[in-house]
């Protein structure tokens, strides 16, 4: 399939899902995300528990072989059986043979993503066993014959009306179902009968305790308990990563999982079973006798699943995936997922940001390739994750590996200067966006001709066809006079060479070649507040190639930036950054690309420009030299600002200077760097941006202000109005 045809296929898939599932996904997932914000607001122990949970998982995965053997001893001492399955086929063979030995005709299941991964249902049905999902959401998708759209809420892509229509069609009730109560009552009664008739009950396990063989099931429905203890035989299926040492180490997870998953203080049911349980078996065939009168023996089988997890454990980049407790917070916090759901943002089994690691680990790289680019690296999921998994980095690594396996483009020779990544061939689209600094240099040197040319319809059609650049997206307008040109030709506004604060301003590619005015405003503001300002070399930070999965190229850029800034740091300069995504590189991603010492030095001495303005004012600089308010503002902060926790400085400066402003609280503007430029994702980008447009719709003629390049560009398209950076708003007159 040609690259253009593949892009069109993806665009059509996203368009269809936006139309058919988007509204339900957004309503349900946004609700859970907001509930998470609300419940965590007053939860003072959150960060400490995250740190503790992370430590427990790190140690458990490190000691996994020993924990498996300890668990085996515990389960067998309890009278149960433990089987360690190498892969899906091995696990399904054991389970189907067990069903045959039990002469089982029916099996009931509680929710389990691991059994979805293994396709246990299909294997049992092929063996002649009727399988019933007893979780309401899983029951819905089973009846609909579709896959889950969310790790926690399998049917969140369906509205109540959808479910009612489905149930009415399948079950043909005397009175059509309409309300949620009617649907729930029917499912409870219907599945209750299936549970009573079942020969085998199957559950997953949120956690398995090695020292006792105890299984922890954390749910909001009572079906898991019923599935585990009503039939005489209980089979639990769990990945080996679910093992933790003991009950003492369970507490942080019980505290965290419900809060991060659904925004509840605690789940409805926290069941700790040490099977085979010693409660009497149940004889449903003898209605005259009380429950618990059965005289049969209970049987328990724990099927531990490897299925690629051992290899993941040995992979320094995918290893963190095994820390996942499957709460779904990464999906809920993601702007793209909130609009298109897991049937686009997901693979064969798993959905959301963490899905890339799971799919690559258990199903292979290709399984992650379909949706991997929907992760834009904004890092909101990192802050949401209860065990602090660096999900964007996992996505980046998998993207890099997929690049390495892609075929060379037949049009590669057409784009001179777009260098391939050292680790393999990269698609022409990714090569284009990953080398924006090269494009910017050419565009600036040939402006205004370059700007005029790229507005021509035939040129845009060619860019769409060969490069995957959305034809409806406005392109950057390059400036002939760069920030470096202006800085070298100007006279400083004040003789600040002996100032207490010395600043080296980092000119990112957009600031240097496109949004030059914000760079000028930063220089004027910092100098007016008494700082001595010099300009670093205009070297791409590595953000552009990193976003395309070109890690080797990003590393080369990072090393060049570090080398250029080193003399300034030696001389006591602070590094000030205008573009939040580049600040995130220096504070966060450079930790993956540079040696620890270099990264620490850059991280500790790099500041957001408004953060630095705030610091200067707090340390005695006169705010009276800055601009006075001339209009009310509508302000949107960049994703990376929020994840770094520095957006508050912009608001503080605007407040101190007396500005009347409102701040957006939407998850994302929808642009996300190059993401919104790509043909296949343009409609999704605009759909996500609709939230911001709606929020600011009633703000009248407020001046639009945004901290990041992506936000500036997207808001300009959304509102058809000029958008400025906060530093331009507060900068003194020229």
- Residue where the block lists tokens 């203080």: 265
Largest CA distance in the chain: 99
SS3 239: strand
Contact 110, 204 (CB under 8 A): yes
Provide the CB-side half-sphere exposure for 244 (13 A, CA): 25
Provide the CB-side half-sphere exposure for 584 (13 A, CA): 25
Contact 606, 577 (CB under 8 A): yes
The CA–CA distances, whole Å, from 415 to 429, 467, 564 equal 11, 10, 28
**Which tokens go with 47?**
């960060």
pLDDT at 699: 83
Contact 281, 295 (CB under 8 A): yes
Q: 55-307 adopts what CATH topology?
A: Rossmann fold (3.40.50)
Report whether the peptide linkage leading into residue 276 is cis, meaning its omega lies within 30 degrees of zero: yes
Q: What is the distance between the alpha carbons of residues 334 and 339, in angstroms, rounded to a whole number?
A: 9
Residue 302 CA, distance from chain mean position: 31
pLDDT at 417: 44
DSSP H or E stretch at residue 76: helix 64-77
| 606-608/633-636 β-pairing | unpaired
**Residues contacting 409, CB < 8 A, separation 6+:** 3, 425, 427, 428, 431
Closest CA to 384 of 27, 688, 32, 57: 32
Q: Per-residue pLDDT tens for 488-547?
A: 998 765 556 678 899 999 999 999 999 999 999 999 999 999 999 999 999 999 999 999
The two counts, helices (H) then strands (E), for the chain are 37, 18
pLDDT at 400: 96
| 207-209/243-244 β-pairing | parallel
Q: Is the dihedral of CA 698, 703, 707, 712 positive or negative?
A: positive
SS3 180: helix
Closest CA to 262 of 538, 78, 549, 36: 36
Within 106-190, strands assigned E span 106-109, 130-133
Residues forming a β-bridge with 203: 236
- Burial string for 83-93 (b: 16+ CB within 10 Å, else e) reads bbbeebebbbe
Residue segments in the chain with a per-residue pLDDT below the cut of 50: 405-423
pLDDT at 412: 41
Residue 358 CA, distance from chain mean position: 13
DSSP 162: H
| 106-109/200-203 β-pairing | parallel
Closest CA to 341 of 49, 573, 30, 79: 30
In terms of DSSP H, where are the helices of 551-638?
Answer: 551-570, 580-584, 590-593, 596-604, 609-618
**Residues contacting 692, CB < 8 A, separation 6+:** 636, 664, 666, 669, 670, 715, 718
Q: What is the distance between the alpha carbons of residues 31 and 36, in angstroms, rounded to a whole number?
A: 9
- Residue where the block lists tokens 């593949």: 6
| 130-133/106-109 β-pairing | parallel
- Residue where the block lists tokens 């400490």: 48
Q: Hey, what's the torsion of the CAs at 168, 173, 175, 176, to 10 degrees?
A: 0
pLDDT at 262: 92
pLDDT at 408: 39
pLDDT at 411: 38
The CA–CA distances, whole Å, from 564 to 89, 545, 567, 601 equal 54, 19, 7, 13
Within 114-175, strands assigned E span 130-133
Residues forming a β-bridge with 634: 662, 704
Contact 301, 235 (CB under 8 A): yes
Domain locations in the chain as residue ranges: 1-42+319-404, 55-307, 483-730
Closest CA to 551 of 521, 515, 588, 593: 593
pLDDT at 409: 37
Q: What is the distance between the alpha carbons of residues 327 and 50, in angstroms, rounded to a whole number?
A: 13
Contact 17, 350 (CB under 8 A): no
**Which tokens go with 24?**
């339900």
Contact 655, 626 (CB under 8 A): no
Q: What is the distance between the alpha carbons of residues 401 and 345, in angstroms, rounded to a whole number?
A: 19
pLDDT at 294: 58
The pTM score is 0.94
Q: What is the distance between the alpha carbons of residues 234 and 301, in angstroms, rounded to a whole number?
A: 6
Q: What is the distance between the alpha carbons of residues 231 and 199, in angstroms, rounded to a whole number?
A: 6
Report whether the peptide linkage leading into residue 700 is cis, meaning its omega lies within 30 degrees of zero: no
**Which tokens go with 59?**
């140690």
- Residue where the block lists tokens 């507060």: 730
Q: What is the distance between the alpha carbons of residues 548 and 454, in angstroms, rounded to a whole number?
A: 22
């Amino acid at each position: 399939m040609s690259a253009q045809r593949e892009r069109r296929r993806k665009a059509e898939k996203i368009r269809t899902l936006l139309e058919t599932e988007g509204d339900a996904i957004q309503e349900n997932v946004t609700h859970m995300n907001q509930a998470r914000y609300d419940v965590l607001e007053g939860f003072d122990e959150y960060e400490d528990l995250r740190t503790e949970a992370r430590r427990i998982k790190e140690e458990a995965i490190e000691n996994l072989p020993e924990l498996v053997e300890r668990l085996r001893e515990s389960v067998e001492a309890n009278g149960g059986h433990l089987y360690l399955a190498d892969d899906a086929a091995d696990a399904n063979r054991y389970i189907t043979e067990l069903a045959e030995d039990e002469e089982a005709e029916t099996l009931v299941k509680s929710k389990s993503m691991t059994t979805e991964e293994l396709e246990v249902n299909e294997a049992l049905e092929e063996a002649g066993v009727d399988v019933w999902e007893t979780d309401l959401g899983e029951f819905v998708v089973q009846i609909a014959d579709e896959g889950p759209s969310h790790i926690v809420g399998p049917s969140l892509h369906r509205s109540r009306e959808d479910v009612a229509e489905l149930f009415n069609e399948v079950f043909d009730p005397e009175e059509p179902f309409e309300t949620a109560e009617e649907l729930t009552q029917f499912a409870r009664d219907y599945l209750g009968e299936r549970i009573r008739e079942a020969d085998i009950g199957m559950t997953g396990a949120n956690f398995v305790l090695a020292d006792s063989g105890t299984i922890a099931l954390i749910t909001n429905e009572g079906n898991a308990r019923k599935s585990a203890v009503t039939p005489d035989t209980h089979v639990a299926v769990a990945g080996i990563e679910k093992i933790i040492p003991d009950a003492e180490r369970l507490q942080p997870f019980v505290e965290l999982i419900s809060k991060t998953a659904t925004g509840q203080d605690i789940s409805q049911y926290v069941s700790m079973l040490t099977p085979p349980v010693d409660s009497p078996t149940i004889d449903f065939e003898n209605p005259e006798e009380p429950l618990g009168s059965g005289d049969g023996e209970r049987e328990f089988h724990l099927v531990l699943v490897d299925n690629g997890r051992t290899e993941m454990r040995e992979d320094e980049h995918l290893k963190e995936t095994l820390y996942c407790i499957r709460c779904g917070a990464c999906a809920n916090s993601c702007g793209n997922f909130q609009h298109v759901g897991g049937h686009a943002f997901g693979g064969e089994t798993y959905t959301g940001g963490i899905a890339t690691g799971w799919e690559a680990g258990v199903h292979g790289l290709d399984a992650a390739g379909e949706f991997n680019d929907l992760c834009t690296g904004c890092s909101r999921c990192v802050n949401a994750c209860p065990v602090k998994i660096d999900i964007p980095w996992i996505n980046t690594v998998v993207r890099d590996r997929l690049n390495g396996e892609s075929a060379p483009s037949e049009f590669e020779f057409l784009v001179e200067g777009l260098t391939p990544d050292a680790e393999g061939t990269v698609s022409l689209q990714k090569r284009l966006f990953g080398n924006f600094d090269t494009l910017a240099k050419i565009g600036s040197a040939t402006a205004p001709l370059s700007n005029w040319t790229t507005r021509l319809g035939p040129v845009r059609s060619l860019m769409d066809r060969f490069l995957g650049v959305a034809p409806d997206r406005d392109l950057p307008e390059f400036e002939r006079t760069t920030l470096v040109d202006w800085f070298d030709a100007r006279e400083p506004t004040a003789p600040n060479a002996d100032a207490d604060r010395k600043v080296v301003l980092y000119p990112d590619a957009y600031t240097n070649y496109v949004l030059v005015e914000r760079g000028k405003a930063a220089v004027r503001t910092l100098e007016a507040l008494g700082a001595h300002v010099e300009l670093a070399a205009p070297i791409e930070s590595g953000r552009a190639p990193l976003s395309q999965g070109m890690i080797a190229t990003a590393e080369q850029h990072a090393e060049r930036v570090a080398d250029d800034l080193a003399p300034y740091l030696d001389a006591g300069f602070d590094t000030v950054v205008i573009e939040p995504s580049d600040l995130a590189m220096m504070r966060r991603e450079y930790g993956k690309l540079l040696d620890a010492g270099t990264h620490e030095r850059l991280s500790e001495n790099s500041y957001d420009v408004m953060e630095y303005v705030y610091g200067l004012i707090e340390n005695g600089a006169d705010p009276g030299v800055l601009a006075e308010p001339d209009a009310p503002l509508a302000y949107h902060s960049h994703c990376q600002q929020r994840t770094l926790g520095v957006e508050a400085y912009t608001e503080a400066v605007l407040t101190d200077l007396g500005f009347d402003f409102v701040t957006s609280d939407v998850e994302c503007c929808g642009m996300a760097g190059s993401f919104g430029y790509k043909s296949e994702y343009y409609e999704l980008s605009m759909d996500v941006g609709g939230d911001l447009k709606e929020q600011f719709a009633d703000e009248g003629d407020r001046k639009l202000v945004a901290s990041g390049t992506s936000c500036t560009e997207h808001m300009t398209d959304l509102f058809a109005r000029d958008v400025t950076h906060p530093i331009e708003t507060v900068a003194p007159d020229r």
